[in-house]
Structure 1
Amino acid sequence: MKFKLLFLLVVSNFSMLMAQSSSNSGVISGKIIDKNTKQPLPYVNVSVLEDSKIITGGITQENGSFSIKGLALKKYTVEIQFIGYKKVTQEITLTENNKSIALTTIAIEEEAVQLAGVEIVKERSTIEQKIDRKVVNVGKDLIASGNTASEIMNNIPTVSVDPQTKELSLRGNSNVRVLIDGKPSNIDAAQLLQQIPSSSIKQIELITNPSAKYNPEGMSGIINIILHKNSQEGFNGSINSGVTFGITPKVNSALNLNYKVGKVNFYTNYGFNHGQNENNGYINSFRPLFENRQEFGGTNLNTSHLIKLGMDYFIDEKNTLSFYTNQNIVDGSGLSFNSADFQNALLRDSGQKTDSDTENYTQTYDLAYKHDFTKKGETLDFQANFSNTKSPEDTDFELTQNNPTSTRFTNNDIKRDTDYLQINLDYVNPLSETVKLEIGAETRLQKITNDFDETISEPSETYNRQGNSYFEFTRNIHSFYANLGKQWKKWSVQAGVRLEQYEIDGDFENVVTSSNPTENINDQSTIKDDIFSVYPSLFFNYKASDNDSFNFNYSRRVDRPSIGQISPIREWTTPLIESRGNPSLEPQFTNSFEVNYTRTSKIGSVTTGVFYRQINDEIGRIIYKNPDNNNQDIISYDNFDDNSALGTEVSANLKLAPWWSVNASTDVYFKTVRGTVQNANTQEQERAEADVVIFNARMNNNFVANKKLRFNLFAMYRGRDLGLQFEREPMYRMDIGSTYTILKGKGSITARINDVFETMNFGFDGNIPYRQVGAFYWESQTFYLGFNYMFGGGKNNALQRKQRDQNETQGSGGLL
């Protein structure tokens, strides 16, 4: 009932806003052509200024003409701007005797330099600090630092990727949402980042404290990855290809194509990633009477294809229709082993071999419509996004135990299927020059099914076991939001609220039949929840001068348990460790506060920020003994006590000399981790806490030797991290590389050595539930050789470029 009433209020407000109109009567019209070709230029920006302030404007039609109505009778400056052309201005005066002024045909001239207009990949990465996000423009230096999005994320300020689990974290927390071109994906973030070739990435947006206009999920905020696409006239594109040499070679390539003709713009992106990766590690456990050493190793061969096809249809200067589809295809196979050697001669040593085949096919379809009203800045956006993901897995295990020798064969056949539908409607209205209203509604419908079949046999003991676990989960979220922004002098403020109705329904069934009747199981359980939540947000910005600005913001956020965190179906297993979810897991809510200061100078900008999080029912990892197998630990999730975290970070984007530029960042996090752990001796759950200080630093240097040759030096340090059960040791690395420009500036060759001194590995030391130390290693030291080439030509079309850039970012800001 609350939502029906709220919906009626939103619709009523929306209708009143749509009815606004202007009573001014002055008109300015004209026509714009290319000075050299004499051809009319469509979509040119025409602005009307009063006392150097833009009060209204428009764009030219296909025939180059424009008409701006509803103007007061006074003096104005008409400003004409078009990417790739010189700016033109004219002074005009509207009076009672001359209410309509028709300017003569205006011929505008091209700028002398065209290359920058068609550049797709810059030499070096740059960082921009905006009011609500930090934008990393990905250059060739970052592309060369890794094959995939997962690998280059470790070079991004405040972002980290766990080298073993590939789990992504922002500001030291893994509760972060990942979007592609502002749109959600059904694929797990860790898996998704390994499928996207680094050369397909244009920008990475870090939105650490989103407003009410954004989806509130993810305590740490949002990471939005924007893929390449352009809107040049005619046919053009780029190709990026590289090979990474480690133990085995790995290929990373991307092709970007664009064709603009008339009112239609077609674009496509194809990314290909293929390679084999090797890893190994060990864990020494010192549990009394069960002391052992576990060794791990294996290879994984993955081939992924990421295809994006899209079209923009510019119906007229006020209406745009866009459509795109993503097709993501992944084939993977892996061979691995692990062994457990016990010091106690009465315990049986064991070894397990694993052979797995995995597939992942995700298809996404997105339709968007945008309408620009006559009033400048007033817009209406509609978007519908549907995706389906199928990810089957077939894994064989061979477990051998010694003294006496026996072999157990296990086959896991898993079928996963996910449907996701999201619909958004967003309206923006500048109520005045200083006040802006934003309202919107969103519906998200998700259905997931997971069918797990397991067969176990021990031929020597005529033992067999057949199990089936089936899990069906639906999650529906309906929300409304409103933001009101106000500017006055050096201050600006935005207040917002988001209302959400959250409904989940899950059914779990587990049936086991065995030659040992005591193992027979027939369990059924249901998960249901229905929550109404309010998420406020508040932003203040103070621009003390052209060089100094301050920002304060607050938002309430939520971390809802993922399917993997609540599914009781076993995720993976070894003889001594098993991973599974916790069906009773509750959502985690966070109140997030943030203060930032940005100082701009002739050599660049420096941003300093402090943040504080107050966390309720924090979700974290736990380890406890398997009640059905005393020799095995279970890794799962649980809600810990309320918690808090404090952090500070400094990032700089500086040009220290004409030949030397630097992107650098440092961050420090302070937090107290609280929760419950299991005592290894008594098997009882006990309260525990740990005070943690985490320090990270990165520096990316770019050196210009001459017009064609550049060098890059990157270094990072990730400090120790302390959890309730173990301490992660510090990690650090250094990379060096160079880029040489060829083919008259349209091509380049890049070479890079990653982890020069081979110092990057994951090591830990823990005491709960008993003493354990270990380390994991992977192919961190590699050599990359890549080639980039841009082809085609044409000029940017200002309207399309602007609208397409909005489509890329608006999904995270305006539609989610």
Structure 2
Amino acid sequence: MKNFQHSITLFFLMFSLLGFSQERPATKKVKVTGRVIDKTTNQPLEYTTVTFQNPKNPSDITGGITDAKGEFEFNINAGVYDVKVEFISFKVIEMKGRNLQQDTNLGSFALVEDATMLNAVEVRQEVSTVSMKLDKKVYNVGQDMIVRGGTVSDVLDNVPSVSVDSDGTVSLRGNESVRILIDGRPSNAINMAEALRQIPADAIDKVEIITNPSARYDAEGGAGIINILLKKGKNQGINGVVTATVGDPETYGITGTVNFKNEKINLFTTQGYNYRTSPGNSMTDTEYLSPLAEYKFIDERRNNERVREGYNGSFGFDWFLDETTTWTHIFSYRNDNGDNPENTFFYNYDSNRNLISTRNRSNTQISKGENVEYSTNFIKKFKKDGHQLTFDGNVSLNKDDDKASILDNINTDERTFNNQKQTTTQLQADYVLPIKENSRFEAGYRGSFTENIVAFQSDSLNVNTNQYDTNFNLSNDFEYKENVNALYTQFGSKISKFSYLFGLRWEDSKINVNQLSTADYNAKKYNNFFPSAFLTYEISDETNISLSYSRRIQRPRGRFLNPFQNRSSDINIFQGNPDLDPAMTDAFDLGYLKKWKKITLSTSAYFNRTKDVFQFVRRENGEFSNGTPVVLSGPINLAEERRFGFEFTLNYNPFKWWRLNSNFNFFSNETIGQYNYVNSLGQDVSIDLDNSATGWFTRVNSKVTLPYKIEWQLNATYNAPQTNFQGKSLGVLSANMALSKDILKESATISLNVSDIFNSRKRINETNIANVLNSYSEMQWRERQINLSFTYRFNKKKNEKERQPRREGGDEGEFMGG
């Protein structure tokens, strides 16, 4: 590894010197200024695009965007240019052959709205699109009807390369080791899967997929990063969007985003209420192989009706202190209450499949969650374009209280209490310094400080006193503390058609995993270097190829560490492992992008090597419940995992009224390791965890404009079978559909969508544990859902482009054409 780090450092220095050594002949520079306004309102048009094109060399283009006052100022080479001023939904203004040999003020440009252009824009903007950066892909959620009235989980499950399984677990390219950010910050949610179901889809602006993050980003997440950007509203004046939804099973919701902006301040808020019913079910058929098992076959059937009621609100403002300084404050609050009654039946058989007995176990779960968060962002831009300093701060408090009452017609009744409280503080500073025209240096600091306290109590009914007694063997007070301080630096440059970006990140981690009830304290301290390298070559304006490397870390958290047992079943139990070590990943990626007139192809091949990878193992814990061996599942560290794969995303527009996009991902992974334990017979058992497996999934999305301007959208996803060392998961096909129609002169839209048309979206597994059991299971987290949504826009056109500033320090690829 040292040799590799030395090679990266040498490579970095060579290209840095090469970037500084590029000399260009002296060219006269002139300053060009002007202003752009809306002719109807006389309001300045911020983020209007102004371009200067050399008519003799059309590929020679320069320019930029206007500021908050609608003004622009650019330094360009003296010469003759065609000047173009354009903003979406407005008529373009062009000036041909303007001779600019000295500093020139072009005056004011008054743009007029263009209904014809707006219609054309709608065709381009309605479907989720992808834009490529040097180190990420950005998916604009757009007018995606499939997710209307849904949640963040529904949105992610419609994004190429991303999958969300039946219980809400998110994976990227088939790998669950993914870091999820919201507005560039790690989510402070205790239960990530549940938190993603509480944020309405209508509050999302776009999703960034960063499969191989640079040193600028948090090193967490072996598979990469998913950054969810929420709508904040940036348009001039007062405007907004409100969406109301009703559905079956019983669902109600309303979400609104409103903003007001002038030259000094931008106020924005998002408010939402939702009530969702999500009935689910599961089944497990098990054959027990142990000679001590009283029942040789047990069929387990479970039904539940998950009900969630929640409020999600935020308020914020951008304060424009001057033309170069912006200070942003955002306050958010979320609460949700849940009720999840579960009813489980156990059908017990002898070796000849004769029914011996039936047992019923009902579990009534009640939960209450609350989240309070404040974040601030300070941006100072200096005179040179792209030269800036930013500060970010975030403080949050998250509470999650769950209680369950478990009634069993054979075993002792139980009740559990699980109260969690998590506090998080995050600080970050980033500095960006452009060097010459095509080079940039960056450096920064990030500190993240988290404390999570879990109080879990399990009580059993005493039949003699008819009172509940605490089971201290199952109860525990659990404390998790994580302090991570990080420093990073990176340098990038563009030399002709070749771009590079090299970086190095250092993270110092201090982790405490404490079981307070048993006085078992576990402290871990480690620091690591995380190098990254990105190389891109532009074959042409429509084609580029890229090669990247980064080192990543995956720290175990939450249910992975907490040793309390899930008691919804007393024979199939999940338990965390407080002794887990972090997993370290080396990630390599080779990408290719090609654009044609009607087709865009993005493809990549990737390889990840992970040490101390997490792996879930099922084994006997030596106990019996009604004569049945108790099977415990939980995570352990394996020696190593190697994952190789390739994917491609294809966008095809055969006709103006029909759009297709598809994503295909194939991967193979090889795990190496073994696990030793003692079974119910007192025998030492060694499980060979060496395994090689392949898997793939594909997604196809089609959108068609029908007569009377009715939009029809259909997508289908197939997850192929995949083997593991203790069995395999079976293939699952699912599909969603939506219809949409604009009304009220296109100021409103009514949509009908059906999620999981065939009610087939399940997690299906076969498990085989030598000398222990063979089982088949199906789990459906949510059954088919039908939603009807109504969206109303005021002072805002259907597809009007949000006039949002780009955070220049956050897109490494922009200045290098990546």
| TM-score, normalised by the number of residues in structure 2 | 0.86
Give the counterpart letter for 2:783 in structure 1: S
Matched, 1:425 2:429: yes
Matched, 1:206 2:209: yes
Residue 238 of structure 1 and its aligned partner are, at CA, apart by 0.7
Give the counterpart letter for 2:661 in structure 1: N
Matched, 1:784 2:787: yes
Secondary structure at the counterpart of residue 494 of structure 1 = strand
Give the counterpart letter for 2:630 in structure 1: Q
Which of 464, 468, 473 is the matching residue for 2:469? 464
Which of 603, 607, 619 is the matching residue for 2:602? 607
Do the aligned partners of 1:121 and 1:138 also contact (CA within 8 Å) in 2? no
Identical-residue share of aligned pairs (%)? 23
Gaps of 5+ in 2: 1-19, 21-25
Residue correspondence of structure 1 range 311-322 to structure 2 within 5 A:
311-322=317-328
Cα distance in 2 for partners of 1:393, 1:265 equals 39
Secondary structure at the counterpart of residue 392 of structure 1 = strand
Do the aligned partners of 2:145 and 2:753 also contact (CA within 8 Å) in 1? no
Determine the structure 1 residue equivalent to 2:193: 190
Determine the structure 1 residue equivalent to 2:730: 729
Cα distance in 1 for partners of 2:34, 2:133 equals 36
Gaps of 5+ in 1: 1-16, 18-22, 95-100, 402-406, 511-522
More deviation in 40-49 or 184-193? 40-49
Determine the structure 2 residue equivalent to 1:170: 172
- Structure 1 pair 813–456 and aligned structure 2 pair: CA distance change class (3 A): farther
Cα distance in 1 for partners of 2:425, 2:379 equals 19
Cα distance in 2 for partners of 1:331, 1:352 equals 23
Do the aligned partners of 1:47 and 1:57 also contact (CA within 8 Å) in 2? yes
Do the aligned partners of 2:380 and 2:388 also contact (CA within 8 Å) in 1? yes
Cα distance in 2 for partners of 1:790, 1:274 equals 23
Which of 159, 164, 167 is the matching residue for 2:162? 159
Residue correspondence of structure 1 range 610-689 to structure 2 within 5 A:
610-629=605-624, 631-676=629-674, 682=683, 684-689=685-690
Which of 97, 100, 110 is the matching residue for 2:112? 110
Which of 435, 439, 443 is the matching residue for 1:439? 443
Cα distance in 1 for partners of 2:495, 2:413 equals 72
- Structure 1 pair 582–371 and aligned structure 2 pair: CA distance change class (3 A): same
Matched, 1:301 2:296: no
Secondary structure at the counterpart of residue 803 of structure 2 = helix
| TM-score, normalised by the number of residues in structure 1 | 0.86
Cα distance in 2 for partners of 1:734, 1:26 equals 57
Residue 686 of structure 1 and its aligned partner are, at CA, apart by 2.2
Determine the structure 1 residue equivalent to 2:495: 488
Cα distance in 1 for partners of 2:333, 2:727 equals 40
Residue 146 of structure 1 and its aligned partner are, at CA, apart by 6.6
Secondary structure at the counterpart of residue 273 of structure 1 = strand
Do the aligned partners of 1:474 and 1:504 also contact (CA within 8 Å) in 2? yes
Residue 488 of structure 1 and its aligned partner are, at CA, apart by 1.0
Determine the structure 2 residue equivalent to 1:93: 101
Give the counterpart letter for 2:391 in structure 1: F
Secondary structure at the counterpart of residue 219 of structure 2 = coil
Matched, 1:570 2:565: yes
Do the aligned partners of 1:32 and 1:40 also contact (CA within 8 Å) in 2? no
Secondary structure at the counterpart of residue 581 of structure 1 = coil
Determine the structure 2 residue equivalent to 1:390: 399
Give the counterpart letter for 1:586 in structure 2: D
Residue 135 of structure 1 and its aligned partner are, at CA, apart by 2.2
Residue 162 of structure 1 and its aligned partner are, at CA, apart by 1.8
Cα distance in 1 for partners of 2:326, 2:798 equals 20
Secondary structure at the counterpart of residue 582 of structure 1 = coil
Determine the structure 2 residue equivalent to 1:548: 543
Determine the structure 2 residue equivalent to 1:713: 714
Cα distance in 2 for partners of 1:134, 1:748 equals 29
Residue 722 of structure 1 and its aligned partner are, at CA, apart by 1.5
Do the aligned partners of 1:671 and 1:693 also contact (CA within 8 Å) in 2? yes
Matched, 1:454 2:463: no
Determine the structure 1 residue equivalent to 2:182: 180
- Structure 1 pair 650–601 and aligned structure 2 pair: CA distance change class (3 A): same
Which of 369, 372, 379 is the matching residue for 2:381? 372
Give the counterpart letter for 2:665 in structure 1: D
Give the counterpart letter for 1:524 in structure 2: A
Do the aligned partners of 1:30 and 1:106 also contact (CA within 8 Å) in 2? no
Determine the structure 2 residue equivalent to 1:336: 342
Cα distance in 2 for partners of 1:669, 1:80 equals 46
Residue 385 of structure 1 and its aligned partner are, at CA, apart by 0.9
Give the counterpart letter for 1:508 in structure 2: Q
Give the counterpart letter for 2:634 in structure 1: S
Secondary structure at the counterpart of residue 153 of structure 2 = helix
Do the aligned partners of 1:490 and 1:543 also contact (CA within 8 Å) in 2? yes
- Structure 1 pair 565–104 and aligned structure 2 pair: CA distance change class (3 A): closer
Residue 30 of structure 1 and its aligned partner are, at CA, apart by 5.7
Residue 204 of structure 1 and its aligned partner are, at CA, apart by 1.7
Do the aligned partners of 1:143 and 1:199 also contact (CA within 8 Å) in 2? no
Determine the structure 1 residue equivalent to 2:416: 412
Cα distance in 1 for partners of 2:267, 2:800 equals 13
Which of 234, 242, 245 is the matching residue for 1:242? 245
Residue 559 of structure 1 and its aligned partner are, at CA, apart by 0.5
- Structure 1 pair 539–807 and aligned structure 2 pair: CA distance change class (3 A): closer
Secondary structure at the counterpart of residue 701 of structure 2 = strand
Give the counterpart letter for 1:215 in structure 2: D
Cα distance in 2 for partners of 1:134, 1:46 equals 22
- Structure 1 pair 773–662 and aligned structure 2 pair: CA distance change class (3 A): same
Residue 104 of structure 1 and its aligned partner are, at CA, apart by 6.5
Determine the structure 1 residue equivalent to 2:222: 219
Do the aligned partners of 1:581 and 1:636 also contact (CA within 8 Å) in 2? yes
- Structure 1 pair 498–735 and aligned structure 2 pair: CA distance change class (3 A): same
Determine the structure 2 residue equivalent to 1:475: 482
Cα distance in 1 for partners of 2:636, 2:313 equals 38
Give the counterpart letter for 2:382 in structure 1: F
1:603-657 Cα distance to aligned partner (Å, 9 max, x none)? 0301111111111111111122224557322221100121201111111111011
Residue 337 of structure 1 and its aligned partner are, at CA, apart by 1.8
- Structure 1 pair 146–636 and aligned structure 2 pair: CA distance change class (3 A): farther
More deviation in 129-138 or 413-422? 129-138
More deviation in 551-560 or 32-41? 32-41
Do the aligned partners of 2:574 and 2:633 also contact (CA within 8 Å) in 1? yes
Determine the structure 2 residue equivalent to 1:98: none
Matched, 1:591 2:596: no
How many pairs align? 763
Secondary structure at the counterpart of residue 744 of structure 1 = coil
Secondary structure at the counterpart of residue 559 of structure 2 = helix
1:639-680 Cα distance to aligned partner (Å, 9 max, x none)? 012120111111111101122110111111111234435686
1:8-44 Cα distance to aligned partner (Å, 9 max, x none)? xxxxxxxxx9xxxxx9998847653648469473757
Do the aligned partners of 1:43 and 1:797 also contact (CA within 8 Å) in 2? no
Cα distance in 1 for partners of 2:811, 2:493 equals 20
1:465-496 Cα distance to aligned partner (Å, 9 max, x none)? 44352122211111111111111111111111
RMSD over equivalenced CA pairs, Å? 3.4
Residue 88 of structure 1 and its aligned partner are, at CA, apart by 5.5
Give the counterpart letter for 1:373 in structure 2: F
Matched, 1:502 2:514: no
Give the counterpart letter for 2:173 in structure 1: R
- Structure 1 pair 811–624 and aligned structure 2 pair: CA distance change class (3 A): farther
Determine the structure 1 residue equivalent to 2:271: 270
Secondary structure at the counterpart of residue 192 of structure 1 = helix
Do the aligned partners of 2:148 and 2:789 also contact (CA within 8 Å) in 1? no
- Structure 1 pair 684–57 and aligned structure 2 pair: CA distance change class (3 A): closer
Residue 717 of structure 1 and its aligned partner are, at CA, apart by 0.9
- Structure 1 pair 710–37 and aligned structure 2 pair: CA distance change class (3 A): closer
Cα distance in 1 for partners of 2:738, 2:746 equals 19
